[in-house]
Amino acid sequence: MKPTYLDLFKNGRLARCAEELRRRLTSCTLCPHRCAVNRLEGKTGKCRSGTLPIVSSFNAHFGEEAPLVGRYGSGTIFFTNCNLACIFCQNYDISHLGRGAEISFDELADAMLALQKRGCHNINFVSPTHMNYAVVEALLIAVPRGLDIPLVYNSGGYDAVDVLALLEGVYDIYMPDFKYMDPETAWRLSGARDYPEVAMAALREMHRQVGDLVLDTNGTARRGLLVRHLVLPNNCAATDRVINVVANLSRNTYINLMDQYRPEYRANECFDMRRRITLEEYDTAVEQALRSGLNRIDGIAPRIRK
């Protein structure tokens, strides 16, 4: 199963995608905030970013989900800044404080190729929503130089469906967060009241494009959707409702119910968020997922139902 972006490069659609993304930067609508600033002229909106990629680091990552890590790691590229404003972000130095450096499209292509040379199974773009133009421009450089491994879209889930449709075929694996199902919680914690409806629509479009997660004979992801959900204390995220949406999309959806929440950055401003989750809260989330029919839960052995 070869990455679909290789065909897009050959038939010229990848170049046309870059042109359209660049055009949208003149009055930016790359994400649902639709700030309408001209990023080509150096103006910035919610993501505080211009045209060139801003990268904090790139490396072979072994802390991602098992299907991405494989034997040699996931080739992770962390983009600086974010189109969300999550007050509890564990990478707040990157997403909020702007740690990173602006690089050229050539340098971004070099990073992809270096990770492939190290043996990484994929190129994993973290927070790509506001950097999709830069990714596609770098692909136009990297593909003729030999890039041929799957690309992972690792986003916060706040993605515009029209932009995702434009990107069809660029990314082989979609790995969005699905954070909340309550608009007021989404506003209070991430500054996006419409997050639930936007994330649900994005999830449906991602699944339409790539389907359920497909693994090779070694158990390494080649194509498909992988959903992440961070379990929050006091069920702030409405985890049960998130799980129902995911299960209704496909009972074969691969989901990672993450238990690593800790109060970081400005989380202490919210009384409900001032502690880690309990074992009972996490177990409840897993049981809810199993009862919904989901049985591909990262780190949880499949159970045989009676």
Round to whole Å and give the CA distance between 136 and 115: 17
What does the pLDDT read at residue 300? 85
Mean of the pLDDT values across residues 175-186? Answer: 96
What does the pLDDT read at residue 271? 85
Residues 38, 42, 48, 54, CA torsion sign: positive
Mean of the pLDDT values across residues 269-277? Answer: 93
For the segment 70-96, what is each residue's pLDDT rounded down to a tens digit?
Answer: 999 999 999 999 999 999 999 999 999
Q: Taking each helix axis from N to C terminus, what angle separates 132-142 and 105-117, rounded to the nearest 10 degrees?
A: 60
What does the pLDDT read at residue 306? 37
- DSSP code for 276: P
> How would you class 63 by CB atoms within 10 Å of its CB: exposed for 0-12, middle for 13-18, buried for 19 or more?
exposed
Q: Would strands 214-215 and 173-174 be described as parallel, antiparallel, or unpaired?
A: unpaired
**Residue 208, SS3?**
helix
For the segment 18-70, what is each residue's pLDDT rounded down to a tens digit?
Answer: 999 999 999 999 999 999 999 999 999 999 999 999 999 999 999 999 999 99
What does the pLDDT read at residue 302? 64
> How would you class 234 by CB atoms within 10 Å of its CB: exposed for 0-12, middle for 13-18, buried for 19 or more?
middle
What does the pLDDT read at residue 304? 44
Contacts of 112 (CB under 8 A, 6+ apart): 75, 77, 123, 138, 139, 142, 147
Tell which CATH architecture fits domain 5-39+51-297.
Answer: Alpha-Beta Barrel (3.20)
What does the pLDDT read at residue 299? 86
For the segment 92-117, what is each residue's pLDDT rounded down to a tens digit?
Answer: 999 999 999 999 999 999 999 999 99
